[in-house]
């Protein structure tokens, strides 16, 4: 019998009913609430940064990012998905031991052979299901991927408890050893500034995104620490930056940005959400 990782946040971060989830995704993808910012004419996109809050908050921004990804990467065979470890349990950096990850829309197949190759390419990534069991950052990306790609892709999930530059660069090196730029996409799951006034959150996030767009990993970490920016998935973002730089891509561009305040109208303590596309133009 196949081993399956069951959803941890279906019914809380997104609907547990297949019909309700499908309807919500259709609404998010058709909504104009999160506007797409002016973008260069990409020749290719390798991946995106995507938020991971409840769909009612960050789903508009996530849908904009996935729409752009679909238009430039219409039929990938594999998605390498990186997310932070919010709960602080399990291994410092881990992939999954399961053969499938389930969502209300069906099972997503794990590229088991790809995971094995990833582990062979890295001394710091191991197999540990405990790290993934209750973590939402990777899980919430799956219904978006299923919505745009159906069941025609596999995943390599990577959960990062340690996110400092040394670890991010090592993970990026391991990914580059197994990556096929013509068939793979990379998703870095992260929200941005947490629980600060709207003006402060927008200002901090804009500064950090400036370094992300330039693929400046050193500047990114310096800005993150000096400004005390509480982007929770900074390690996954840095990995995608380093992978893009290793591939010789042009950089990244902000696709869409909102805060929770833009959604619910409370601007005192907001969380920032950004979709950012990485590619060549």
Distance CA 206, CA 165 (A): 20
Give the tens place of pLDDT for each residue, 14-41.
999 999 999 999 999 999 999 899 999 9
Quote the strand ranges of 22-177, DSSP E: 44-50, 78-84, 93-95, 100-103, 106-110, 126-127, 154-160
Give the tens place of pLDDT for each residue, 223-280.
999 999 999 999 999 999 999 999 999 999 999 999 999 999 999 999 999 999 999 9
Q: Which two tokens stand for residue 194?
A: 């947490």
Assess contact for 235 and 251: CB atoms under 8 A: no
Closest CA to 98 of 16, 156, 52, 152: 156
| Angle (deg, nearest 10), helices 112-120 and 165-178 | 120
pTM above 0.95, yes or no: yes
Domain carrying residue 173: 4-280
How many domains is the chain partitioned into structurally? 1
User: Which CATH number do you get for residue 261?
Assistant: 3.40.830.10
Give the tens place of pLDDT for each residue, 69-97.
999 999 999 999 999 999 999 999 999 98
In terms of phi and psi (left: phi > 0; alpha: psi -120 to 50; beta: otherwise), the region of 90 is: left
Distance CA 33, CA 61 (A): 9
3-state secondary structure 112-156: HHHHHHHHHCCCCCEECHHHHHCCCCCHHHHHHHHHHHCCCCEEE
Distance CA 91, CA 2 (A): 23
Model pLDDT, residue 1:
74
Q: What is the dihedral of CA 58, 64, 67, 72, to 10 degrees?
A: -120
Model pLDDT, residue 2:
84
Distance of CA 43 to the CA centre of its chain: 21
Model pLDDT, residue 97:
85
């Amino acid at each position: 019998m196949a081993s399956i990782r069951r959803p941890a946040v279906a019914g809380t971060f997104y609907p547990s009913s297949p019909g309700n989830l499908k309807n919500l995704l259709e609404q998010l993808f058709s909504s104009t609430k999160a506007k797409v910012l002016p973008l260069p004419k990409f020749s290719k996109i390798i991946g995106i940064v995507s938020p991971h809050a409840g769909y009612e908050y960050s789903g508009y921004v996530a849908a904009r990012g996935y729409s752009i990804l679909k238009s430039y990467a219409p039929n990938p065979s594999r998605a390498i998905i990186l997310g932070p470890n919010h709960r602080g349990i399990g291994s410092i950096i881990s992939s999954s031991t399961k053969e499938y990850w389930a969502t209300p829309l069906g099972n997503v197949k794990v590229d088991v052979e790809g995971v094995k190759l990833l582990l062979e390419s890295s001394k710091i990534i191991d197999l540990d299901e405990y790290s993934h069991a209750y973590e939402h950052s990777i899980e919430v990306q799956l219904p978006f991927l299923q919505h745009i790609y159906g069941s025609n892709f596999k995943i390599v999930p990577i959960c990062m408890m340690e996110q400092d530059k040394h670890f991010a660069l090592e993970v990026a090196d391991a990914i580059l050893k197994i990556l096929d730029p013509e068939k793979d996409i990379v998703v870095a799951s992260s929200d941005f500034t947490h629980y600060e006034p709207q003006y402060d959150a927008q200002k901090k996030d804009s500064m950090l995104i400036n370094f992300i767009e330039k693929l400046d990993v050193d500047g990114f970490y310096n800005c993150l620490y000096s400004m005390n920016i509480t982007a929770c998935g900074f390690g996954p973002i840095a990995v995608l930056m380093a992978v893009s730089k290793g591939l010789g891509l042009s950089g990244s561009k902000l696709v869409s940005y909102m805060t929770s305040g833009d959604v619910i109208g409370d601007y005192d303590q907001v969380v920032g959400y950004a979709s950012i596309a990485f590619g060549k133009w």
